[in-house]
């Protein structure tokens, strides 16, 4: 364990008046110190009075090891300490102490607790499952875990030669040897990851889906070496001591460099990068909870390739929400971290205890990496020597794109994004950031960084509201969010928005067709549709906005008319909608957004073959034309209007010509085949050349009558007046592709699914004679 020479303190001197007299188990105390971004733990071996001072002697060698990390991050024998694990410290309900000598557990019950009937869990394992292949050519393969609750592990801290502690320089790991304080010199060989409740190495196609992982002694799920093509989705992870999910290892700067002349953990042939893993659709709540482990993220990924960290919801961490990368600017020839994705995540209430980070944190170069359309909420104000940031691109960060993120953060943060020219950062592309404050440093070399667009009151424009709406858990996993964290109304309408009256507002489903959702003024208790109130079904994913200007909230109302919940965030209506904003698309391939001279934003940089799509458009009883607001400074192109998909049925087209400028707007009208009811519609763009064709601001179908006046003919999904095998095929395709036919919605849940397909097949084989019971 002693790799380098050095001298460290053997004990800590305290004023005896600051502590009660400790009479038992003096070798059982834990001392914790905290720095700006890290916390450490050392353990005592004895306590003595020396020259009027109370001296706590440290377990060795770990007491010395804990003092070796550099940059002020290691354990310091001076400054502020928190001391745990003495009987004499029990002074309030909810605290416990285990006397290892007496083999006696002491507990001070909270009010109303009866210890005779209490459920008491005393973990004895630090690992529940270990999955370990032998090498990169002999992996464990094809195992799935689903619907299992993993809970209650312990951790006796890192053990070195009989001594215990936990110390590091940064993140979810612990030192295991006495070495150079500059850990870059040793390529992090003295640092190892923490044990997980579940541990995976040298494995392929391992799936963890729809599980609960809670009450851990250290990490939740750990996949550190040579784990490939594996999936972590739909899990609820909570009350985790350190990192909720850890992927990769800090020693993976290079692969296969272990030898007898160094201290690499993994031998050649065993060591492998974690590659092509999917960590998406998980709910992580209350992570890095235990004092001493504060420097850990909810999701930690070191040197990894092709990891997908998308659509996760993270709430309440002591430090950052998502950590990606390693190596600082010290290993520019390392190629092991690349092609990663952190997109569509919702990160809330981070930096609860530590500082000098943000909702999402990167470090080191990682070519091909994207960090787009994340919603970060609740980053606190900075204080003296306690900087905070919305996003943090730390030293050596390079070759990433970080676009279209929405940062709802305290105006007194240090930086909106810490991407300033420091620590050899370079080649950063950070575009279209919307935030509640603009505080940026000097741009690093070879970088394109937009000035953040400030929305001080966090009432977001429509496009940024959509980023917030689409962040976090998708509808499939929405049930993972506990009701005590998020009300139904806040799930349906998660961020404040400013838009026009009479337009369509996308929302999330409330999850129950017995509910009704309303947009209404604050304080409404009685609901009636009108110019200042609109409604939609409980499973709707769109609602029309009130026509009258003002501020509104979203209400979820039960079948008995009782308000179940009201959104915390408001909807601000300004002006009247001319048409459907082009930027309100549900599907986009190739286009980008830009500010529009007529207000808001438009769809721009449209090239040949690009397309956008809109789900659930109501064409009423009949629509035979659509107006398009377009602009072009070149020869323009064509919009082809299709139903169902970009390759679906063509119902019309319109040519777009040069209007005299990219913001010189003109309305063009497309005649379309008579269309009715609720349909998915796609606009496919075509034209000559490789330059942009035109811009699109809004579009407006000339809707005649209400779709409610259309007679629903159940079973006739293609609306040709007959029920035959073509309707079965169309309904199956609709269910698989996420499209919608009202004539095939037999259970009236506003979607086509496998239940509808089963029912139409039963009708065909004569098992049933009616679609509606």
For residues 596 and 580, give the distance between their C-alpha atoms in angstroms, rounded to a whole number: 14
Using CA atoms, how far residue 217 sits from 201, 297, 366, in Å, is 20, 15, 31
pLDDT tens track for 525-560: 999 999 999 999 999 999 999 999 999 999 999 999
pLDDT of residue 771: 85
pLDDT tens track for 160-182: 999 999 999 999 999 999 999 99
Whether the predicted pLDDT of 711 surpasses 80 = no
- Tokens describing residue 677: 């009811």
Structural domains in the chain, sorted by start:
462-576 (2.60.40), 580-706 (2.60.120.260), 711-764 (1.10.1330.10)
Whether the predicted pLDDT of 14 surpasses 80 = yes
For residues 64 and 45, give the distance between their C-alpha atoms in angstroms, rounded to a whole number: 13
- CB-based contact 577:549 (threshold 8 Å): no
- CA 563, 564, 568, 569 dihedral sign is negative
For the segment 118-131, the average pLDDT, to the nearest whole number, is 95
For residues 767 and 757, give the distance between their C-alpha atoms in angstroms, rounded to a whole number: 14
- CB-based contact 273:305 (threshold 8 Å): yes
Is the peptide bond preceding residue 61 cis, with omega within 30 degrees of 0?
Answer: yes
pLDDT tens track for 253-267: 999 999 999 999 999
550 CB neighbour count, 10 Å cutoff: 15
Q: What single-letter DSSP state applies at residue 530?
A: B
pLDDT tens track for 144-154: 999 999 999 99
| Angle 82-153-100 from CA coordinates, rounded to 5° | 60
Contacts of 272 (CB under 8 A, 6+ apart): 136, 202, 225, 226, 228, 255, 266
- CA 658, 662, 663, 667 dihedral sign is positive
Q: What single-letter DSSP state applies at residue 2?
A: B
Cα 601 to the center of its chain, rounded Å: 26
Nearest CA-CA partner of 14 in 98, 78, 62: 78
pLDDT of residue 743: 87
Whether the predicted pLDDT of 773 surpasses 80 = no
Write the burial class of residue 67 (CB in 10 Å: 0-12 exposed, 13-18 middle, 19+ buried). Answer: buried
- CB-based contact 245:227 (threshold 8 Å): no
For residues 668 and 686, give the distance between their C-alpha atoms in angstroms, rounded to a whole number: 16
Q: Where are the beta strands (DSSP E) in 26-103?
A: 30-34, 39-50, 53-58, 82-84, 96-99
pLDDT tens track for 347-386: 999 999 999 999 999 999 999 999 999 999 999 999 999 9
- Percent of the residues in the chain that have a pLDDT greater than 70, as a whole number: 99
pLDDT of residue 708: 66
Contacts of 348 (CB under 8 A, 6+ apart): 313, 314, 315, 316, 376, 377, 378
Diameter over CA atoms, the chain: 99
Nearest CA-CA partner of 153 in 223, 225, 83, 239: 239
- CB-based contact 237:213 (threshold 8 Å): yes
Whether the predicted pLDDT of 722 surpasses 90 = no
Contacts of 420 (CB under 8 A, 6+ apart): 440, 441, 442, 443, 444
For the segment 760-769, the average pLDDT, to the nearest whole number, is 88
463: three-class secondary structure by DSSP = helix
Strand pairing class (695-704; 580-581): antiparallel
Helix or strand (DSSP H, E) at 758: helix 754-764
- Percent of the residues in the chain that have a pLDDT greater than 90, as a whole number: 87
Nearest CA-CA partner of 421 in 451, 386, 396: 396
**pTM exceeds 0.95, yes or no:** no
Helix or strand (DSSP H, E) at 756: helix 754-764
Whether the predicted pLDDT of 651 surpasses 90 = yes
Using CA atoms, how far residue 388 sits from 378, 382, 732, in Å, is 11, 5, 50
For the segment 123-128, the average pLDDT, to the nearest whole number, is 96
341: three-class secondary structure by DSSP = strand
- CB-based contact 306:339 (threshold 8 Å): yes
pLDDT tens track for 572-605: 999 887 889 999 999 999 999 998 999 889 999 9
Instruction: List, in sequence order, every residue forming a beta bridge with 587; answer none if it has no partner.
Output: 613
- Tokens describing residue 117: 């009937």
Nearest CA-CA partner of 2 in 166, 168, 188, 190: 190
- CB-based contact 739:752 (threshold 8 Å): yes
Q: How confident is the model at residue 719 (pLDDT cuts 50, 70, 90)?
A: confident
- CB-based contact 230:207 (threshold 8 Å): yes
pLDDT tens track for 724-759: 888 999 898 888 877 778 888 888 777 888 889 999
Contacts of 250 (CB under 8 A, 6+ apart): 171, 173, 188, 191, 193, 302, 303, 326
SS (H, E, C) 612-634: EEEEEEECECEEEEEEEEEEECC
The length of the chain in residues reads: 773
Using CA atoms, how far residue 373 sits from 51, 84, 270, 340, 504, in Å, is 61, 42, 36, 14, 21
503: three-class secondary structure by DSSP = coil
Q: How confident is the model at residue 230 (pLDDT cuts 50, 70, 90)?
A: very high
pLDDT of residue 229: 99
């Amino acid at each position: 364990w002693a790799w380098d020479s050095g001298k460290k303190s053997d004990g800590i001197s305290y004023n005896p008046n600051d502590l009660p007299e400790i009479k038992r188990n003096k070798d059982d105390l834990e001392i914790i110190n905290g720095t700006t971004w890290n916390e450490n733990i050392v353990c005592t071996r004895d306590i003595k009075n020396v020259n009027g001072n109370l001296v706590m002697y440290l377990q060795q060698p770990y007491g010395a090891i804990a003092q070796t990390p550099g940059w002020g991050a290691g354990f310091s024998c001076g400054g502020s300490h928190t001391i745990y694990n003495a009987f004499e410290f029990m002074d309030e309900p909810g605290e416990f102490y285990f006397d290892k000598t007496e083999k006696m557990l002491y507990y001070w019950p909270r009010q109303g607790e009866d210890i005779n009937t209490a459920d008491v869990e005393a973990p004895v394992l630090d690992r529940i499952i270990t999955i370990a292949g032998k090498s990169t050519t002999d992996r464990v393969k094809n195992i799935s875990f689903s619907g299992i609750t993993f809970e209650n592990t312990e951790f006796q801290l890192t053990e070195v030669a009989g001594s215990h502690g936990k110390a590091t320089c940064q993140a979810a790991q612990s030192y295991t040897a006495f070495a150079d304080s500059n850990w870059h010199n040793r390529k992090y060989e003295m640092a190892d990851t923490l044990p997980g409740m579940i541990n995976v190495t040298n494995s392929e196609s391992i799936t963890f889906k729809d599980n609960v992982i809670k009450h851990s002694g250290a990490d939740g799920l750990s996949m550190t070496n040579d784990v490939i093509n594996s999936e972590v989705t739909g899990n609820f992870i909570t009350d985790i001591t350190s990192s909720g999910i850890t992927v990769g290892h800090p020693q993976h700067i290079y692969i296969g460099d272990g030898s007898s002349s160094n201290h690499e953990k993994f031998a050649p042939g065993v060591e492998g990068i974690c590659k092509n893993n999917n960590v998406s659709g998980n709910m992580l709540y209350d992570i890095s909870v235990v004092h001493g482990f504060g420097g850990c993220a909810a999701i930690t990924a070191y040197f990894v390739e092709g990891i997908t960290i998308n659509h996760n919801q993270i709430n309440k961490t002591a430090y950052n929400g998502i950590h990606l990368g390693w190596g600082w600017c010290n290993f520019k020839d390392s190629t092991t971290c690349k092609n990663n994705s952190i997109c569509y995540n919702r990160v809330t209430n981070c930096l609860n205890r530590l500082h000098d980070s943000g909702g999402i944190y990167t470090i080191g170069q990682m070519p091909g990496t994207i960090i787009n359309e994340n919603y970060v909420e609740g980053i606190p104000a900075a204080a003296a020597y306690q900087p905070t940031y919305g996003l943090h691109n730390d030293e050596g960060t390079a070759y990433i794109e970080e676009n279209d993120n929405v940062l709802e953060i305290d105006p007194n943060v240090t930086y909106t994004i810490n991407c300033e020219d420091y620590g050899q950062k370079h080649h950063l592309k950070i575009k279209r950031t919307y935030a509640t404050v603009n505080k940026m440093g000097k741009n690093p070399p070879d970088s394109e960084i937009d000035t953040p667009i400030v929305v001080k009151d966090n009432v977001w424009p429509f496009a940024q509201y959509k980023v917030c709406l689409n962040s976090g858990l998708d509808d499939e996993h929405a049930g993972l969010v506990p009701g005590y964290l998020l009300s139904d109304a806040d799930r349906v309408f998660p961020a404040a928005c400013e838009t026009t009256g009479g337009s369509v507002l996308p929302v999330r489903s409330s999850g129950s067709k017995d509910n009704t959702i309303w947009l209404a003024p604050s304080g409404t208790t009685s609901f009636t549709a009108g110019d200042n109130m609109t409604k939609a079904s409980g499973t709707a994913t769109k609602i029309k906005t009130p026509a009258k200007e003002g501020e509104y909230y979203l209400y979820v109302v039960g079948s008995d008319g009782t308000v179940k919940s009201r959104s915390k965030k408001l909807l601000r209506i300004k002006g009247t909608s001319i048409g459907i904003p082009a930027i309100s698309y549900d599907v986009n391939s190739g286009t980008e957004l830009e500010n529009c001279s007529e207000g808001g934003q438009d769809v721009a940089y449209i090239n040949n073959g690009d397309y956008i799509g809109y789900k659930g458009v109501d064409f009423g009883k009949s629509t035979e034309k659509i107006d398009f607001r377009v602009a072009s400074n070149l020869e323009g192109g064509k919009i082809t209007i299709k139903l169902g998909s970009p390759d679906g049925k063509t119902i019309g087209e319109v040519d777009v010509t040069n209007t005299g400028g990219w913001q010189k707007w003109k309305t063009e009208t497309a005649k379309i085949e008579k269309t009715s009811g609720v349909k998915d519609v796609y606009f496919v763009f075509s034209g000559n050349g490789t330059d942009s064709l035109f811009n699109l601001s809004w579009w407006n179908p000339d809707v005649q009558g209400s779709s409610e006046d259309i007679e629903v003919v159940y079973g006739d999904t293609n609306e040709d007046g007959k029920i035959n095998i073509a309707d079965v095929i169309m309904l199956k395709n609709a269910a698989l592709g996420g499209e919608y036919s009202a004539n095939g919605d037999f259970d009236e849940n506003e979607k086509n699914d496998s239940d509808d397909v089963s029912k139409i097949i039963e009708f065909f084989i004569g098992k049933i004679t009616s679609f509606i019971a």
